[in-house]
Chains A and B, each alone.
Chain A
Amino acid sequence: MSFFQRIFPILALLSFLLLIGLVWKDYDRPYLEYQRKFKALLDQKSTGSSKPVEFGFGYRQRWSKELGRVDRCETCHLGLDDPRFKDAPQPFTTHPVIAEHAYEKFGCTECHGGQGMATTVEDAHGPTENWNKALYHDNFMENSCSLCHGEYLQAQAPVLFRGQTMFFEYGCRGCHKVDGRARTVTGPPLDEMSKRVKSDWLYRWLMGPKDYWPQTKMPDAKFTSQEAADVSAFLLQGPGPEGQAMSGDAGPGKTTLLESRCTTCHTIEGKGGKTGPELSKVASKAYPERLFKVVKDPHALWSDSKMPIFGFADKDINDIVTFMSQEYMDLDLNENEAARQAQLVASGSKERGKELAVKQGCVGCHSKIEGVKEIGELGPDMSTFGVVHISLLDFGDIKVPFKERTVPNWIYNKIKSPRLFKEGLKMPDYYFSAEEATAITTYTLSLKGKEVPASYTLPLGERPSDYAPQGAFGKIVDKYRCLVCHKINGKGGEVANDLSQEGSRVQEAWIKKFMKAPDTIRPMLEERMPPFKILDPENDAIFAYCRTTLVTDKVEDLTGPVDKMALGDPQIIRDGEKLYFEKYGCNACHQINQKGGLVGPDLTETGKRLRPEWVVYYLHDPKAFVKRSVEPVYALTDKEIQALTAFVLSSRSSVTH
């Protein structure tokens, strides 16, 4: 017998065993283990029910033809649509509310990320080699909503919406392009700096904007002491301040300042809004002559300024600035230290300062920097950054384990500490909190530049409109910057009430009086409408525009029926009073003559403020105008609406004017 003849049976046996092994290995896939566990759980949950448990082992797969997706996630995630698995451990947990997002139509990976065809835990969830899309972390999940619904999902995707808002408020769009969104330059122009601010202040500001004012949106460029002095020297080249200290009267100045409700936008001694800059240290920052100019006409200095033109007389401004110069000093400031800082700036190098200003990209947020070219976006284009390939992202010197090397993690860390990955990176530090960084990351991930089929597109949320009133009213809105606080036809701020239907809502005499001397309607609001020096022709133009344009037929068409109501009938008013206090408890939220709750607007003298048609319209459907108002809805009968309207309109102030 030859050697080969002897070895042949052994080799044959080995080959056979190998074949068995391969078949077995192919048969016993890892997912079967999960299916067996699920079957056991299912049996346990179904004990007692008469129907036999049906469960077939094997792959489960969804093919969404329109989206071009094949997802096998349900091979292991077996309890997705079975509410009995609400508290079961993963991978069997029930998917929370799925009604509008059926698997048949959407699959899983379109929203969640991951590798749909994979059937092992590692490959399906990722990150894995050659598959860019790892499963999204829960924190960033809302980014996918934008695919079909857009990014204005305030109610449904608050994190995405917040990120979107922050992206533009913090001026990210100044350096990063996003298709379809215009570039915004959010900081003030930096011309005539030497006439505006003191050199030691500018040095301190550049050393740490958030140390000076924690709420500022200005990021920290992390200049060294010498660099801050150089940049200050560069920005401050040019003639110094014109004019001398103000010689007004501080007493009346203080009164005017307090009455003008500056704290609605400005922080003074730690209290107030953050729309404008901090004020209680302003005398150590800006020259009095400049403060005068800002109060007189802020738009002449910065056309995008949010500050209204109050219309003060020069003497009043003189008094205000005199008061600010005397009282609003930085009390923590050491004079010797300030002198040292001023000296540092005086000896700083303008050339080096210019180089730094260019390198740092100050033009991303500021215009009119002398000698520095405005060249548009300096940073990478963000239009499709949400689907950027991981290989294009540089983790630099930071050792990151493979499991964490994902696109979302890179973006999150870049936003949280922009210079983390490498020395010499330019993006300044905003000191965002974890939640803020999460929101902006979510928005950045939503920028996929990818379109879903038309049948999937369903824009939700309120898109800002490009409403821009023209003519006399347009000029008034621009002068007083009404849209910083108020919204009209989808454009403007959220601070004060929406004015889109104001003409249908309030009466002529009231609006004209209110514009001259705005009083308080909503007792709990911290923001107060500032008293502007509205001119009579302006007041007429405001009313005319409101009454012709800011109206709704839903109210106007009620004039006929309301005229027929006996709103002055004492018996009906008494009925209304009973309903107001006893049946519906309106006083729990509304005040009349200092009695009642503070949630809704004060209803004293409503008869002088609101049009009867509006009251009827509002009582019919409180949500018709403001959808998210904190207002209960009652099924009021027409008779009750008539009585309540009559009572509310009859309320007279107990204070004699």
Chain B
Amino acid sequence: MTKETSMLLRLGPTLTLFAALSLFFLTATGSSIAVAASSEERAQLPLFEVPRKPESTLTASEQRGANLYAYYCAVCHGKNGEGDGFNSSQLSTPPAKHDDATFMSTLSDVDVAKAIKGGGPALGRSTDMPPWGRVLTDREVSDLVAFVRTLSKQ
């Protein structure tokens, strides 16, 4: 036996191991590519959706107030309290701007509730603002006050 062949024989197991290992890693990498492809495909399917809470920063009371505001108030005061509802141009006294923080800071919660319940005259202002005290319950009025406050906070 020559020197070379004995060296090959000694290297044999090492080489075999090396070959086996590279084969293993190659297939492993190969299969991981395959997995990536199928997950990409999956992403194109409509995915199962978990119902999410509607994104709203309003509390329950403010949300109830928001619904009432849209129904009763927005025609004059505007959807976001900017005083630009579709009826506002018809009024001799422009409706209060609820998004105006400086103006709103002059009114206490009690004042706002008073204006809602008794109308403009309750605060010595225009009769264009009607009284809602016989239409809304006390809870609804306080919900509305809570919501009106959020309009000048942004």
Contact = CB atoms under 8 A, between A and B. Distances in A.
Interface of A: 96-97, 137-140, 395, 398, 400, 404, 408-409, 412-413, 416-417, 420, 434-435, 438, 441, 524, 582-585, 588-589, 591, 596-599, 623, 630-635
A598 B86 contact: yes
Nearest to B73: A630
Given A398-B48, A412-B51, A413-B49, A630 B60 contact: no
Contacts of A630: 71-72, 75
Contacts of B45: 420
Contact of A409 (B51, B90, B134, B139): B51
A634 B121 CA distance: 13
Contacts of A633: 134-135
Nearest to A633: B134
A435 B87 CA distance: 30
A597 B90 CA distance: 5
Given A583-B127, A588-B127, A632-B130, A597 B48 contact: no
A290 B71 CA distance: 43
A632 B90 CA distance: 18
A412 B132 CA distance: 40
A420 B130 CA distance: 53
Given A630-B72, A632-B132, A582 B48 contact: no
A598 B76 CA distance: 10
A139 B135 CA distance: 29
Give chain B's interface secondary structure class.
loop
A409 B51 CA distance: 7
A420 B46 contact: yes
Contacts of A412: 49, 51
Contact of B51 (A140, A583, A598, A632): A140
A404 B53 CA distance: 15
Given A420-B45, A583-B127, A588-B91, A408 B134 contact: no
A625 to B, nearest CB: 14
Contacts of A434: 49, 51-52
Nearest to B128: A588
A634 B128 contact: no
A597 B91 contact: yes
B119 interface: yes
A438 to B, nearest CB: 7
A588 B95 CA distance: 11
A404 B128 contact: no
15 contacts: A96-B60, A97-B139, A400-B48, A404-B50, A409-B51, A412-B49, A417-B46, A420-B46, A420-B48, A434-B49, A598-B87, A598-B90, A599-B75, A632-B119, A633-B134
Contacts of B76: 588, 597, 599
